[in-house]
Amino acid sequence: MFSFNLPPEQNIKFLQQKKPKLSFNYDELMHEAHLKAFTIAKVTKLDLLSEIQDSLIKAQSEGKSFEVWKKEITPTLAQKGWLGRVEVTNEKTGEIKTINANNTRLKRIYNTNMRTANAQGRAKAQYALEGEIYLRYIALQDGLTRPSHLRMHGITLKREDKFWETNYPPNGWNCRCVVRAYSKEECERQGFSISQTPPLPIASKDWSYDKRGLSKDESLDSVLETKLEKFKKNPDKAHFVKSLNDTKADIAQVKQNYQAIKNLKLENLNGEVDRKFIPLAKTTQTLKNLLKTEAKEIYLSAETLKDHLEKHPNVGVMDYSLLPLIIRDANVYRIKESKENHIVYFSKAKNYYKAAIKTTEDKKEIFLLSLIKSSKKL
């Protein structure tokens, strides 16, 4: 048997790279999207979601048990009003549900995230092995394992077998199954029988997707397209589809921003432009109301970029590029008005941003005057 201790860095990286995504129901963010987005059903506050994610990353890196993690996260949950019996409102539909944020729910959150992180770390290590590799399904035989999973125990298939695409464990809620890797020589030495016919799929509906994180097309664009295709014909998902379309447009703008800012930075450093400016984001309704304008876009000037990249080295090209995502109405947590400009405070993922914004005298254009970032609330 190929023996290795999974590097925790792989598992930690898996949890860290997931972007917090609010969802009321689990199936709002299905399948491969869960590899890229950190979500917990019925957690509808981004700051709480981010704190839970941070606590799980810490637990993964320090090898904390569920009981230790629960003890440390409980005060935060209580402070945020997400402990015990909680009324949760779906901001998209107005639907109100009463849930019980109890030991069982917390254990599911902990186990789901730890096991999926461990599974992806294990899979990436196994698929990086050279030579002819076989994967063997291992189920715990303690009387608690599902019969369908138990019947899989000992089944050995080629690593490239399509069965693993949707049945690499975990294959259900609280599934504890794992896969071990063997070389051809090790299989022969152990006397393992190689299955020539793939078994029937065993993954439950919520887990029937590729959990290995090996897909060549792992772009967020691909995830969004898949989700749009799934929901666009369902009238009950109209609001969700609109949200996804908005997200697609914002991501396209982020990509465009990144290249435009790099070009602007290069031109500015070369002293070729000083008064040139580029559009960064569509103006949100909150900003329109605040600034009393109908201006459709927020601009960034070369002069501002040059000045603030020097003054605030922790705010880079990517931060400015992400403005369409940062300034969303849901991220605004404080607004400070002044005669000359307006300062708006945003929280996005694990960062806090302070943006100074100003309109031209005729109110027809909006400019970003500064962007400050901090890991603590500003």
235-284 tens-digit pLDDT:
776 766 676 677 778 878 888 888 888 887 777 655 555 568 889 999 98
Mean pLDDT along residues 195-218: 80
When mean pLDDT is compared across 92-101, 177-186, 206-215, the lowest value belongs to 92-101
Facing residues of 359 across strands?
366
Tell me how far apart the alpha carbons of residues 161 and 24 are, in angstroms, rounded to a whole number. Answer: 35
pLDDT tens figures, 73-131: 788 777 777 677 766 555 555 666 666 677 888 888 787 877 888 888 888 889 888 88
Tell me how far apart the alpha carbons of residues 143 and 241 are, in angstroms, rounded to a whole number. Answer: 43
Specify the higher pLDDT residue, 37 or 343: 343
**Res. 25: pLDDT tops 50:** no
Q: What is the pTM of this model?
A: 0.46
Tell me how far apart the alpha carbons of residues 214 and 206 are, in angstroms, rounded to a whole number. Answer: 19
Alpha helices (runs of H) in the chain, residue ranges in sequence order: 8-17, 46-62, 66-79, 103-127, 147-150, 163-167, 184-190, 220-231, 238-269, 285-291, 302-311, 317-321, 323-326
**Distance between alpha carbon 216 and the CA centroid of its chain, in Å?**
18
Give the 3-state secondary structure of residue 66: helix
pLDDT of residue 62: 75
When mean pLDDT is compared across 168-172, 242-246, 347-351, 352-356, the lowest value belongs to 242-246
The string over 55-81, giving b where at least 16 C-beta atoms fall within 10 Å of a residue's C-beta and e elsewhere, is bbbebbeeebeeeebbeebeeebeeee
Mean pLDDT along residues 372-378: 85
pLDDT of residue 28: 30
pLDDT of residue 269: 58
Q: Which of 79-88, 225-234, 286-295 is predicted most confidently?
A: 286-295
**Res. 163: pLDDT tops 60:** yes
pLDDT of residue 49: 60
Tell me how far apart the alpha carbons of residues 156 and 199 are, in angstroms, rounded to a whole number. Answer: 10
pLDDT of residue 273: 56
Mean pLDDT along residues 3-32: 40
**Res. 41: pLDDT tops 80:** no
**Res. 137: pLDDT tops 70:** yes
pLDDT of residue 21: 40
Q: How many CB atoms lie within 10 A of CB 98?
A: 8
